[in-house]
Amino acid sequence: MGMAAAPKQVPKKVLQGKIALVAGATRGAGRGIAIALGEAGATVYCTGRSSRKRTQRWVPTPGRPETIEETAELVSAAGGRGIAVRADHTKPSDVKKLVATIKRRHKGLDILVNDVWGGDALTEFGKTFWTVNLDNGLRMLKQAIHSHIITSHYAVPLMLGRGRGIIFEITDGDAFYYRGNLFYDLVKISVIRLAFAMARELRKRDVASVALTPGFLRSERVLEHFGVSEVNWKKAGKKGNINQNSTDQNDAPADFMASESPRYIGRAVVALAADPKVKEKSGRVFSSWGLAREYGFTDLDGTQPHWGDYARKKYGKYKICDERFYSYWVPGLVELIFPDWF
Per residue in 43-62, pLDDT tens? 999 999 988 886 656 666 77
User: Rounded to an integer, what distance in angstroms lies between the CA atom of residue 293 and that of residue 4?
Assistant: 10
pLDDT at 246: 84
Band of pLDDT at residue 132, cut at 50, 70 and 90: very high
Q: Is 341 exposed, middle or buried (CB count within 10 Å of its CB: 0-12, 13-18, 19+)?
A: exposed
Q: Is 0.85 surpassed by the pTM of this model?
A: yes
Q: Taking residues 34-47, report their average pLDDT.
A: 98
pLDDT digits (tens, 9 = 90+) for 155-174: 999 999 998 999 999 999 99
pLDDT at 329 over 60: yes
Band of pLDDT at residue 11, cut at 50, 70 and 90: low
pLDDT at 152: 98
* Average predicted confidence (pLDDT) for the chain: 93
Band of pLDDT at residue 12, cut at 50, 70 and 90: confident
